[in-house]
Amino acid sequence: MTRIYLSPPHMGDDERKLLLEAFDSNWIAPLGPHVDAFEREMAAKVGVAHAAALSSGTAAIHLALRILGVGPGDEVIASSLTFSATVNPIVYQGATPVLIDAERATWNMDPVLLEEELDACARRGKLPKAVIAVDLYGQCADYERIAAACARYEVPLVEDSAEALGSSYRGRMAGSFGALSILSFNGNKIITTSGGGMLLSDRKEWIDRARFLATQARDAAPHYQHSQLGFNYRMSNLLAAVGRGQLRVLDQRVARRRELNAAYRRALGDLPGIGFMPEAPEGRPNCWLTCVTIDPGAFGATCEDVRRKLEAEDIEARPVWKPMHLQPFYSACRTRGGSVAAELFERGLCLPSGSSLGDADLNRIVNVVRSVRN
């Protein structure tokens, strides 16, 4: 029996062909026709006017904050329950993260706590430079309320949609809710270029600026001249070719992950103490990862017991993200609430959810989880 991974890459039929075509054309890197085409095709898929293909999702968040003018002494509000890549770029810019707890309905930034925090900031006379909302495990945050709160205080919204490509909320695609939004094509995401990311916006001047900053901020001169600090953050043409192939199978990848989520619910939903990440009625998540919560009293074993048993059977499962306010590096950050995210970390487990996972593998996983209880 082979090892089952949490979310391994899953290539389609076209990626190899497109990659070799890029290779044979000698457009290796940086940039080239596949980068331009990948940006156009992704912008069209997400329903945003402009996109810049970058070396990672983290780079995309970093450039978003630079474009919004985040700098030393500024504050940026972010969800606490997320991967560290959401908040690290705040610190790259010398600014300070302010963390907001999750709501139970979506596991995303609690809109009520965001409103309270923005109100407190306004009364203190110092609004944050940006709000970064995350679409956790592929489910969109409650943008109706979050966007309204940001608009009321005129604070720009950045959407970290690294995990949510292919999801939608009230009929609009994930990645279209921020003034700037980001995607990731890291190896574990729903589609991958091995590593890569994208920054999206309806404002052309912002995306032009992202491309400029991402290619070392070179001024228009025959020699190498720089009036601003630049970065080496562009995506290579070879990887964009892979990304174009992956984008063609995105809908199939979403369909399979949603199918696996439904299958897990059917196979484990009857067990006492087992819950699932809720699916809010306004959205259609891509089900990037299926997450369960385990109440040890009712289930008779903890999350960590289940994870260890799976690992012993060569099956990779992972605890839900450890919230940023509980991370040693971020524990001093001002945090509004925090107990919901802490409980989800304590009780949450991500099960293998790759779109290449077969029904036999799914049964293998389900049997191990059920056996922990017996």
List of residues contacting ligand PLP (CB under 6 A): 56-58, 82-83, 85-86, 134, 160, 162-163, 184, 186, 197
Residue appearing with tokens 């709000």: 131
The encoded tokens of residue 323 equal 């919230």
Residue among 86 and 168 whose Cβ is closer to ligand PLP? 86
Residue among 56 and 121 whose Cβ is closer to ligand PLP? 56
CA 181/CA 51 separation, integer angstroms: 9
Identify which of 209, 205, 249 has the alpha carbon closest to the alpha carbon of residue 49. 205
CA 182/CA 171 separation, integer angstroms: 19
Residue appearing with tokens 């921020």: 178
CA 175/CA 284 separation, integer angstroms: 13
Least Cβ distance, residue 175 to ligand PLP (angstroms): 12
Residue among 58 and 168 whose Cβ is closer to ligand PLP? 58
Least Cβ distance, residue 195 to ligand PLP (angstroms): 6
Residue among 133 and 342 whose Cβ is closer to ligand PLP? 133
In this structure, which amino acid lies at residue 88?
Answer: N
Name the residue whose CB lies closest to ligand PLP. 57
Residues 303, 329 contacting (CB under 8 angstroms): no
Residues 240, 37 contacting (CB under 8 angstroms): yes
Least Cβ distance, residue 332 to ligand PLP (angstroms): 22
CA 362/CA 369 separation, integer angstroms: 11
Residue appearing with tokens 């109100």: 119
Least Cβ distance, residue 146 to ligand PLP (angstroms): 16
Residue among 43 and 190 whose Cβ is closer to ligand PLP? 190
Residue among 271 and 280 whose Cβ is closer to ligand PLP? 280
DSSP state letters, 64-102: HHHHTT--TT-EEEEESSS-GGGTHHHHHTT-EEEEEPB
Least Cβ distance, residue 202 to ligand PLP (angstroms): 21
Residues 59, 182 contacting (CB under 8 angstroms): no
CA 28/CA 225 separation, integer angstroms: 25
Residue among 106 and 299 whose Cβ is closer to ligand PLP? 106
Least Cβ distance, residue 163 to ligand PLP (angstroms): 5
CA 182/CA 57 separation, integer angstroms: 6
Least Cβ distance, residue 123 to ligand PLP (angstroms): 30
Least Cβ distance, residue 84 to ligand PLP (angstroms): 8
Residue among 57 and 243 whose Cβ is closer to ligand PLP? 57
